[in-house]
Structure 1
Amino acid sequence: MRGFKDVPRAVWLLSPGVFVNAVSSFTFVFVFVYLTGPRGLSVTEAGLITGIGGIGLVAGNFTGGGFGDRHGHRRVLLIASAVAGGALVLLPALPTAALYAALPPAQYAIGAIRSANAALVAVMVPEGARRQSFAVVRCVSNGGFTLGAPLGALIATGLSYDWLFVADGIGTLVFALWTARVVPASGAANTPAAAPDGGLGRGVWGELRARPAVLVLLAAILVVDVIYRQQYSTFPVHLAHHGLDTGVYGLIIAVNGAVILLLELPAALALRTRPPLRVIGVGLLLVGAGYGALLLGTGIGPAVAMMMLLSLGEILYKTPATAYVADQAPPHAIGLYQSLYAGVSASGVVLGGPLGGALYAAAPGLLWPLCAVLAAGAGGAVLWMSVREAQGPRELRPAGEALADREPAAAPASGPAEDPARHDPRPAHETGSRPRAVAG
């Protein structure tokens, strides 16, 4: 499509590695079954290990990009991929007691891969083409996950659960090797960016206070991610309580993947010139409307409508939000900003289940209205910031803010052997919407 002509060749070259990594990233789907089945752990023990691992995953998201600012994004991505891949390959051979020590670092490295990959894409792409670039990476990642889940089930039933971890680890190592091949070692992707004063700049809080729209956006994403991930925890319980079995849930979840694969790239192309905060705000409102649809009834119809609205909302907010945070970042903190976004956009992995489960157990009729109201509030806050930004961007930034922060750098080189990086910043697929998505 002509609208994607601005996506650098380096992003297209990186995409096959992202796809392989996403296809092989199926262990998170089966890890609880693995721990309670072949490993023989109780539900409580398995929950403790996966909970600690989830904290590691979020921590990796929060820090991977910041490490890249100091040590180079390509370098951090390769190190994190090597650590995660090696740990996953060796994990089946470890005694059960050692899983408490081994799984959290592996999850930490996996989280660092996601934020480092987002930062790597951000520095390789000039401002104005980041939405399309992150959409490409997210679409590739989601396509990989769509194939990966059934493939993982075949491996687990046809071979063993141990082979899931081995295959996941090999896929991660292949991703590292591919990235090392197609992303040059020279350039901004592997070169730390200095703060304007040669030091640490104004610090995290100082940088964010200079960009209040980013602060509001991060808070909104944190709230909505906890809400969004109810589809993986309390939503299947809700269906079961109303007589809809796991097979129905699987089909409804498949709607999400189908909608995203069909509409992610066309939406990114059609909306690439629209004000980003406005698009993001509408997306958050659609997430709230999705959970509001569950108030219409308990059958398949409302459930499918809910998933359709959630999927459309995800398309509208996840890719533009990743790109907006990258565009707002100063050159020396692109990775830090991507880490902040990656961390809040994965926090629902840890917070969604416990918070939603506790509320559902105490007052099941209150969960969906509360989800709808909170998501609507988050969307309204982002739309309000969009109005303020439209009235005058200088009102949102201190008078002394350096204009150099907002100047786009030259477009990256077209070939893999040349420097594709830029000095000014995805996918997360959650990867984004899913715990192992490497691009936001």
Structure 2
Amino acid sequence: MRSLRHWWDDTAGGLPATFWYLWAGLLINRAGAFALLFLSLYLTEARGASESLAGTVVGAYGIGGAAGVLLGGVLADRWGRRATLLAAHLVASGLMVALAFSRHLVVIAVLAALVGVAHSMPSPAFVAAIVDVVPERRRSRAFNLQFWAFNLGMAVASLLAGLLAEASFVALFLVDAAATLAAAVVIALKVPETLSGGRGRLRISARRTVRVRTADGVRPPGLRTALTDRTFLAFVGLTLVLAVLTLQTSTIMPLAMRDDGLRPSAYGAVVALGGVLIVLGQLFVPRLIDGHRRDRVLAVSTALLGVGFTALAFADALAVYLAAAVVWTVGQMLAAPPNAQINADLAPPELRARYQSVFYLAFPVASFVAPTLGGVSLQYLGERHWLIVGGLGFLAAVGHLVTGPARERRVAALRRATTDIREPALAGEN
């Protein structure tokens, strides 16, 4: 009992109440965000759209998502984290109700794009708020719990979506809207604004010009700062590779399993195994990686993804796919905490949400690159496609080892710069 309590304190202890309310809001949000999983099926079965038209509408959702992460980052730094989260959740809830009762395909496409914006806006605000309230030494734990909540919510969403879609597509959208509204209520009642005020934080006034000192020099604050930060963009590029690798499981792997003569239930088993491993094992990851350099942890994790996907070049039976899934899922689990923490550490406090928005751009880009290039590669290269995917994982592992020391120097320089700015700012307020 004592060892269990010690493990729990080490895994989730020392985190402020605001974090747990943010965590609860994220969990509710993910558990309820299931309608879009069945959007293409809804369009083809209930609205008579062709497969190509359905793909175009779903693509509109992805385009909206790319715009949403940038908009969410800018608003979270200007309006505040809480205001951005509330606005995004309330708008998303209303849009889902509109989707439930829309009939015209053009209207549905426009609404899907707007839902993509609203669904993506909270991501940078959630992460920025977590960084605002969680002490630096506990952030790895916080991000590990965030990743766990995200995957647990998605697992619940997948189960609920299947049941609701069989009963009623309208109910699918309405329950999604209700869950999104419930997350908004939690945020409205329990999450304070974390951007301004509070001891030790910098207050930014829109009426005066603040210049942000980074390792590369002093720049005026704005989205352009993140988009021209070479060290940060190198890390985002490696995260893009990680995202492209991860998305192989939902975009290209089903096609490969079909070509191997495996049924859809086999694909479901592989995906379910990954979800179960994350839900059961993610809470043990922090103790496993503590004391190890983050660049080395990320190198090992991306190498494991490389090994797992390389194995698919030789897979022709479900057992091989399941074994490979174990390997790449362990890689995903190891990567989650250090990846999120490095992303947070590289961001100047004044531009925390903007940096998050640029970071999260990697995921909609990956959602386009993975199926587009992956489909061509699988069609013309066959099983050799997986050798290329595995090779990308190994190259990313080397990339983390090469760029890791520079990232750590960047973080140290940013901490010194932040201290230099904070002291006169606080003196002026006093």
Q: TM-score range by the shorter chain?
A: 0.7 to 0.9
Q: Cα gap change, 1:299/1:178 in structure 2, threshold over 3 Å: closer, same or farther?
A: same
Q: Is the aligned partner of 1:125 residue 2:134?
A: yes
How big is the shift at 1:340? 1.6
Match of 1:112 in 2: 121
Q: Is the aligned partner of 1:359 residue 2:377?
A: yes
Q: Is the aligned partner of 1:98 residue 2:107?
A: yes
Take 2:73 and 2:291, find their aligned partners in 1: how far apart are those partners?
Answer: 27
Q: Percent identity?
A: 26
Residue-by-residue CA offset, 1:215-234 (whole Å, 9 max, x unaligned): 22111111221222011111
AA of the residue aligned to 1:106: V
**Cα pair 2:81 2:193 within 8 Å, conserved:** no
Q: Cα gap change, 1:207/1:58 in structure 2, threshold over 3 Å: closer, same or farther?
A: closer
How big is the shift at 1:210? 5.7
Q: Cα gap change, 1:166/1:207 in structure 2, threshold over 3 Å: closer, same or farther?
A: closer
Match of 1:405 in 2: 418
Residue-by-residue CA offset, 1:282-305 (whole Å, 9 max, x unaligned): 211111111111123321222112
Q: Cα gap change, 1:63/1:302 in structure 2, threshold over 3 Å: closer, same or farther?
A: farther
Match of 2:258 in 1: 240
**Cα pair 1:210 1:397 within 8 Å, conserved:** no
TM-score in terms of structure 2 length: 0.86
Q: Is the aligned partner of 1:377 residue 2:395?
A: yes
Out of 179, 198, 220, the residue aligned to residue 201 of structure 1 is: 220
Take 1:186 and 1:203, find their aligned partners in 2: how far apart are those partners?
Answer: 19
Take 1:315 and 1:163, find their aligned partners in 2: how far apart are those partners?
Answer: 33
Structure 2: stretches of 5+ with no match in the other structure: 1-7, 212-218, 423-430
Out of 106, 128, 143, the residue aligned to residue 134 of structure 1 is: 143
AA of the residue aligned to 2:352: I
Match of 1:291 in 2: 309
Take 1:204 and 1:147, find their aligned partners in 2: how far apart are those partners?
Answer: 35
Take 1:232 and 1:186, find their aligned partners in 2: how far apart are those partners?
Answer: 36
**Cα pair 2:240 2:363 within 8 Å, conserved:** yes
Match of 2:361 in 1: 343
Please give the secondary structure, in 1, of the residue aligned with 2:383: helix
AA of the residue aligned to 1:405: T
**Cα pair 1:330 1:406 within 8 Å, conserved:** no
Q: Which structure is higher in RCO with an 8 Å CA cutoff and minimum separation 6? A: 1
Take 1:186 and 1:129, find their aligned partners in 2: how far apart are those partners?
Answer: 17
Out of 277, 297, 300, the residue aligned to residue 259 of structure 1 is: 277
Residue-by-residue CA offset, 1:148-184 (whole Å, 9 max, x unaligned): 21211111112x1111111111111110111111112
CA RMSD of aligned residues (A): 2.6
Equivalent residue runs for 1:186-197 within 5 Å? 188=196, 193=204, 197=209
Structure with greater helix share of residues: 2
Residue-by-residue CA offset, 1:291-325 (whole Å, 9 max, x unaligned): 11112332122211221122111112123211111
**Cα pair 1:69 1:193 within 8 Å, conserved:** no
AA of the residue aligned to 2:375: G
Q: Cα gap change, 1:61/1:268 in structure 2, threshold over 3 Å: closer, same or farther?
A: farther
Equivalent residue runs for 1:55-94 within 5 Å? 55-94=63-102
Take 1:350 and 1:70, find their aligned partners in 2: how far apart are those partners?
Answer: 29
Q: Cα gap change, 1:234/1:16 in structure 2, threshold over 3 Å: closer, same or farther?
A: same
Residue-by-residue CA offset, 1:374-425 (whole Å, 9 max, x unaligned): 12111211111224557xx26x887xx671427999xxxxxxxxxxxxxxxx
How big is the shift at 1:242? 0.7
TM-score in terms of structure 1 length: 0.85
Please give the secondary structure, in 1, of the residue aligned with 2:121: helix
Counting matched residue pairs gives: 402
AA of the residue aligned to 1:51: G
Residue-by-residue CA offset, 1:35-86 (whole Å, 9 max, x unaligned): 1110110011101111111111122123312321111111111101111111
Take 1:186 and 1:366, find their aligned partners in 2: how far apart are those partners?
Answer: 49
